[in-house]
């Protein structure tokens, strides 16, 4: 005789639990992976900041445009220093290459956008390939000195060219695509964001191929990489070339943003700022490079607008800071860089990873206690 089972009424212990929506379950499994909540938090913060700049007042929008340009440059530097583990102080030189290449195309058949941007990337690729040759023989401090030589050579050439042909700076035409004016405001900001997204996606795709694997192997140990069959010479040169191409694109975008190319905008302090960006955010992370670019770009505006009031609030004289803003800000950036290198080499992302691990430990301990208390004696 077959016994029929009657479904349990709602609210009883035998009631069937409705299945979780698949999208929520997938999101939960994705977030359960260590490190992903940190990436999600950083991504959401960047997305919120991008929306704020898009719909904020013109001044906020202008700061957002600067953040996007420097974010592209930071990605370029993170390819070389974060992915391939090479050291260079020539980011400002490559931005100068892109900016002057863009200005020199004005009045030629190559003027229409995006041809100057693409050709700047090609020029940056070639110069990056050449600049990587010393990296085949030098490492560490000697490679750093070789990159400094490139910085001074490029700036000297740019200075002589500007003095001879464009004393006030090389004028860059307004950014247009056909009859569409993209030279200012939200239209320029959205254009810069689209280019940043394309650069980010291309970098993400490349680093998930054998090229990215080769770069990471070289970063960990060139000897071990060579023993494993990786062509160290080839992939080191490609790292320098790819970094030069992306950083030159940032220089081209910066020239469109300010309307001219001037060698004084690309001095050694800019190269140091770019390195500070990737260290502050997280040297081995593309998201960290973006966060660092936003922090270092916006911090001067925050200090300029608020530090005097903060000093006055605590009873300190703010007049001295007002008259020495650039020197004080440079000193604060240097101090911030040293603190990060000494105490948190992985930057903001490293701090967030530590916080995530601490939260996971606390939650795990609470769940284990709950299971222990709920188990029968």
- Give the mean pLDDT of 343-356: 85
Does the structure show a pLDDT above 60 at 264?
yes
pLDDT tier at 318, thresholds 50, 70, 90: low
CB atoms under 10 Å from CB of 89, counted, come to 20
Q: Whole-prediction pTM value?
A: 0.86
Helix axes 232-258, 58-78, angle to 10 degrees: 170
For residue 2, the model assigns a pLDDT of 46
Does the structure show a pLDDT above 70 at 6?
no
Does the structure show a pLDDT above 80 at 33?
no
pLDDT tier at 13, thresholds 50, 70, 90: very low
Pick from 71-85, 288-302, 318-332: least confident: 318-332
Distance CA 82, CA 243 (A): 11
Give the chain's count of helices (H) and strands (E). Answer: 15, 4
For residue 293, the model assigns a pLDDT of 93
Give the model confidence (pLDDT) of 231-256 as tens digits.
Answer: 888 898 999 999 999 999 999 999 99
Pick from 64-73, 202-211, 316-325: least confident: 316-325
For residue 321, the model assigns a pLDDT of 66
Structure-model confidence comparison of residues 340 and 47, the more confident one:
47
Does the structure show a pLDDT above 50 at 274?
yes
pLDDT tier at 353, thresholds 50, 70, 90: confident
For residue 11, the model assigns a pLDDT of 44
- Give the mean pLDDT of 5-14: 46
Does the structure show a pLDDT above 90 at 66?
yes
Does the structure show a pLDDT above 50 at 14?
no
Give the model confidence (pLDDT) of 91-150 as tens digits.
Answer: 999 999 999 999 999 888 998 998 999 999 999 999 999 988 877 777 777 778 888 889
- Give the mean pLDDT of 262-276: 90
Reduced to 3 states, what is the DSSP secondary structure of residue 181? strand
Radius of gyration over every alpha carbon of the chain, rounded to an integer in angstroms = 25
For residue 56, the model assigns a pLDDT of 87
Region of 178 on the Ramachandran plot (φ > 0 left; ψ -120 to 50 alpha; else beta)? left
For residue 250, the model assigns a pLDDT of 96
Reduced to 3 states, what is the DSSP secondary structure of residue 221? coil
Reduced to 3 states, what is the DSSP secondary structure of residue 177? strand
Does the structure show a pLDDT above 70 at 377?
no
Instruction: Give the residue among 75, 106, 67 at the shortest CA–CA distance from 91.
Output: 75
Distance CA 74, CA 250 (A): 9
For residue 10, the model assigns a pLDDT of 46
Distance CA 121, CA 98 (A): 7
Tokens matching residue 265: 């905008």
For residue 375, the model assigns a pLDDT of 63
What stretches of 259-324 show up as alpha helix (H) in DSSP?
Answer: 268-281, 286-313, 319-323
Buried b (16+ CB within 10 A) or exposed e, 200-212: beebeebbeeebb
pLDDT tier at 316, thresholds 50, 70, 90: low
Give the model confidence (pLDDT) of 290-302 as tens digits.
Answer: 999 999 999 888 8
**Which secondary-structure segment (H or E) carries 170?**
strand 170-171
Distances (CA, A) of 272 to 15, 83, 91, 325, 330: 63, 18, 8, 18, 10
Tokens matching residue 249: 């694109």
Average per-residue pLDDT in the chain? 84
For residue 27, the model assigns a pLDDT of 64
Q: Is it true that the peptide bond before 114 is cis, omega within 30 degrees of 0? A: yes
Give the rounded distance of the alpha carbon of 202 from its chain centre.
Answer: 14
């Amino acid at each position: 005789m077959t016994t029929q089972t009657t479904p349990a009424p709602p609210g009883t212990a035998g009631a069937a639990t409705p299945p979780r929506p698949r999208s929520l379950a997938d999101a939960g499994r994705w977030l359960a992976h260590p490190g992903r909540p940190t990436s999600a938090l950083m991504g959401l913060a960047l997305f919120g900041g991008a929306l704020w700049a898009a719909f904020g007042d013109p001044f906020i929008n202008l700061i957002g445009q600067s953040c996007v340009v420097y974010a592209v440059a930071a990605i370029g530097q993170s390819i070389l220093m974060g992915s391939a583990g090479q050291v260079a102080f020539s980011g400002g030189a490559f931005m100068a290459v892109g900016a002057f290449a863009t200005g020199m195309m004005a009045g030629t058949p190559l003027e229409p956008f995006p041809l100057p941007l693409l050709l700047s990337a090609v020029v940056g690729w070639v110069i990056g390939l050449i600049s990587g040759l010393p990296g085949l023989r030098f490492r560490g401090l000697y490679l750093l000195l070789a990159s400094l030589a490139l910085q001074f050579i490029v700036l000297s050439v740019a200075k002589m060219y500007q003095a001879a042909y464009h004393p006030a700076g090389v004028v860059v035409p307004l950014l247009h695509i056909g009859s569409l004016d993209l030279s200012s405001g939200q239209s320029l900001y959205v254009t810069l964001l689209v280019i940043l997204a394309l650069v980010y996606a291309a970098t993400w795709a490349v680093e998930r191929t054998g090229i990215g694997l080769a770069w990471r192997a070289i970063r960990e140990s060139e000897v071990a990489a060579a023993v494993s069959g990786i062509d160290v010479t080839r992939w080191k040169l490609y790292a320098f070339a790819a970094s030069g191409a992306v950083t030159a694109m940032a220089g081209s975008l910066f020239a469109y943003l300010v309307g001219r190319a001037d060698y004084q905008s690309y001095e050694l302090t800019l190269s140091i700022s770019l390195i500070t960006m990737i260290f502050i955010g997280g040297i081995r992370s593309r998201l960290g490079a973006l966060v660092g670019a936003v922090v270092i770009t916006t911090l001067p505006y925050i200090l300029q607008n608020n530090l005097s009031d903060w000093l006055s609030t605590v009873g300190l004289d703010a007049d001295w800071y007002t008259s020495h803003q650039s020197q004080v800000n440079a000193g604060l950036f240097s101090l911030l860089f040293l603190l990060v290198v000494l105490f948190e080499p992985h930057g903001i992302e490293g701090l967030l990873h530590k916080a995530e691990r601490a939260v996971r430990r606390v939650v795990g301990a609470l769940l284990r206690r709950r299971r222990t208390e709920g188990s029968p004696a």
